[in-house]
Structure 1
């Protein structure tokens, strides 16, 4: 049986090998650096936190919350970013962050596919900054649909949802003996 957290496309055709694994303490410093990248901040409209606040958030609210599903993304063995899902206001949300060296290489596409295999909740929501076209495209390629907008501070974000699969159509009941005549 294939490992659900492993993308084998890197073993064919020269693409990087993308995997998901559990987060370890050493990953947090790289995640902090990703959050402070000026271009990532511009695209996400996410205000980077000071180091102590960032580490406290990750240790207590992300890693310390059994409701959160959190994974480190690796590319050819190097830490590339993270994917997280959590429950907020009775909705399950998805968030992710990739370091700039991994943008535009298909890493997000493969990592999100792997993460969605692990995260069973549907519907699943995401709310990227409306101006982050690459993030919106990534979500839409995986079946997320635009359902509205939300504001985070002064910034408009799109609300997207990966819907629950449609229920199979009900089959008509077989005809009883009296109905067959």
Structure 2
């Protein structure tokens, strides 16, 4: 498993990953049609503050990991194609990525039902914020758990 810079062809695979209904349910994030998805990734790739990497396992693109500035916080997120879940890829990719992202603290938000992603963050040293620090519902009505990595 390795991470590398995002290449143009990778974005097409990212698009395919986010079409999976089970993946979007777990992420609590709706899939996008092709044009809005490609426009979203063009915006990410043009953002000089965003750090992004493609995740490669067994010689195949299996996902992506991104960090960006949002409302004064440094956020982090990742997406692994469902065919590659349960193999430790997200944990390994996040651990590698954390070596590239030097700013701290880092913030992450995960749907409460996404136990796999919660475990990935915990294994990589993120701490769950106290319940009173969590917003009970995200703006879209999805209940989330907030995490922070301080060091």
Q: What is the TM-score with the length of structure 2 in the denominator? A: 0.94
Shift of 1:91: 0.3
Quote the Cα distance in structure 1 between the aligned partners of 2:85 and 2:134.
25
Question: Aligned pair 1:36/2:23, yes or no?
Answer: no
Let me know the Cα RMSD of the aligned residues. 0.9
Structure 1 unmatched runs, 5+: 1-17, 165-181
Shift of 1:121: 1.2
Q: 1:49 aligns with which of 12, 29, 32?
A: 32
**Bigger helix fraction:** 2
Quote the Cα distance in structure 2 between the aligned partners of 1:109 and 1:88.
23
Shift of 1:149: 2.5
Q: Which one scores higher on RCO, CA 8 angstroms, separation ≥ 6?
A: 2
Deviation string 1:133-163 (CA, Å, 9 cap, x unpaired) is 0000100111111114231311111110001
State the match for 2:134 in structure 1.
149
Shift of 1:109: 1.2
Q: What is the TM-score with the length of structure 1 in the denominator? A: 0.78
Structure 2 unmatched runs, 5+: none
